[in-house]
């Protein structure tokens, strides 16, 4: 049995080697800064090279070791390269954060298979490839590890506005989370997911407007959120650090909803 821990030590990531996939997105950016501030050494992977370097500079300013990899997990080679960068720079990989994803809403009768594939590739295939590459490394190391995937309240709830691809992809992320938690538990690797409701990002910024179509969508969302506001990327950081730190060593296979109470109703 592990001895008593101070609260600060329970959430300490000092010396851990972390990979953030999708580091240039709204959640990926705050996740990268939070990991650096918590003491981790961080590999940042993303497809937007200029923004990736900007995020890298922000994390370095916190005193963290940083390596950038200008790739998305579109192929096995991409995912393997991200993990290899962590091994080369920091001697291994302890923490994986999947922060990437997309949406392309349309009624199913108007959505071509190519659009479906694009959403499923970004939200499920890419995370699956990244998990496979990271899992190989963590298992070989024999020292455990932690993975956090990005789900959504839409993995649990449907939506009338053409979300057949998005909801299906996020439900699959939940299933992947549970399957890997069972598969990797004997290796000491925990796998969990964060399920936000709408939070401010490049995809959702229009929903934060004070007038126009976005205002109507916002009002509809707020009528179901007990805390009375939409989310910010920073709202996800507390759950992320919990799931990556020793504080969550006996937590695996879970989807933690950070949604202002949206799924409570």
The answer to the question of residue 214 being in a domain is: no
pLDDT per residue as tens digits for the range 204-225: 766 777 777 777 777 778 888 9
224 found inside a domain = no
Confidence (pLDDT) at 245: 97
Query: Does the residue 207 lie in any domain?
Result: no
Range of the domain at 123: 7-196+234-256
Residue 261 belongs to some domain of the structure: no
163 is catalytic: no
Q: What is the pLDDT of residues 96-112, one digit of tens each?
A: 999 999 999 999 999 99
What is the distance between the alpha carbons of residues 136 and 93, in angstroms, rounded to a whole number?
Answer: 10
Cα separation, 180 vs 184, in Å, equals 6
The reply to whether 204 falls in a domain is no
Q: In the chain, how many domains are there?
A: 1
Whether 136 is covered by a domain: the verdict is yes
Pairing of strands 17-21, 41-45: parallel
Q: Which of 163, 166, 257, 262 is catalytic?
A: 166
Please indicate, yes or no, if residue 99 is contained in any of the structural domains. Answer: yes
CATH number at 147 reads 3.40.50.720
Domain contains 212: no
- Signed CA dihedral, 24, 28, 29, 32: sign only: negative
**Residue range 140-158, pLDDT digits in tens:** 999 999 999 999 999 999 9
Q: How confident is the model at residue 250 (pLDDT cuts 50, 70, 90)?
A: very high
DSSP per position, the chain? -PPP--HHHHT--TT-EEEEETTTSHHHHHHHHHHHHTT-EEEEE-S-HHHHHHHHHHHHTTT--EEEE---SSSHHHHHHHHHHHHHHHSS--EEEE---------GGG--HHHHHHHHIIIIIHHHHHHHHHHHHHHHHTS-EEEEEE--GGGTS--TTT-HHHHHHHHHHHHHHHHHHHHHGGGTEEEEEEEE-SB-STTTGGGG-SSSHHHHHHHHHHTT-TT-S-B-GGGGHHHHHHHHSGGGTT--S-EEEESTTGGG-
């Amino acid at each position: 049995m592990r001895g008593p821990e101070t609260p600060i030590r329970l959430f300490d990531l000092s010396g851990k080697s972390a990979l953030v996939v999708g580091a240039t997105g709204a959640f990926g950016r705050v996740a990268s800064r939070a990991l650096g501030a918590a003491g981790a050494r961080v590999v940042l992977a993303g497809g937007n090279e200029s923004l990736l370097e900007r995020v890298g500079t922000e994390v370095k300013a916190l005193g963290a070791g940083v390596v950038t990899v200008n790739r998305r997990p579109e192929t096995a080679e991409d995912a393997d390269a991200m993990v290899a960068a962590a091994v080369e720079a920091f001697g291994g990989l302890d923490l994986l954060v999947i922060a990437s994803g997309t949406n392309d809403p349309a009624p199913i009768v108007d959505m071509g298979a190519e659009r479906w594939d694009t959403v499923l590739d970004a939200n499920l295939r890419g995370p699956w490839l990244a998990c496979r590459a990271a899992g190989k490394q963590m298992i070989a190391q024999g020292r455990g590890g932690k993975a956090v995937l990005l789900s959504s309240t839409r993995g649990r709830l449907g939506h009338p506005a053409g979300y057949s691809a998005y909801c299906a992809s996020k439900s699959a992320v939940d299933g992947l989370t549970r399957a890997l938690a069972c598969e990797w538990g004997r290796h000491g690797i925990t796998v969990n997911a964060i399920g936000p409701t709408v939070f401010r990002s490049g995809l959702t910024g229009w929903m934060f407007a004070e007038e126009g179509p976005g205002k109507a969508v916002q009002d509809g969302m707020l009528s179901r959120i007990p805390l009375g506001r939409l989310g910010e990327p920073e709202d996800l950081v507390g759950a992320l650090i919990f799931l990556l730190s020793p504080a969550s060593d006996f937590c695996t296979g879970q989807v933690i909803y950070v949604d202002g109470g949206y799924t409570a109703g």
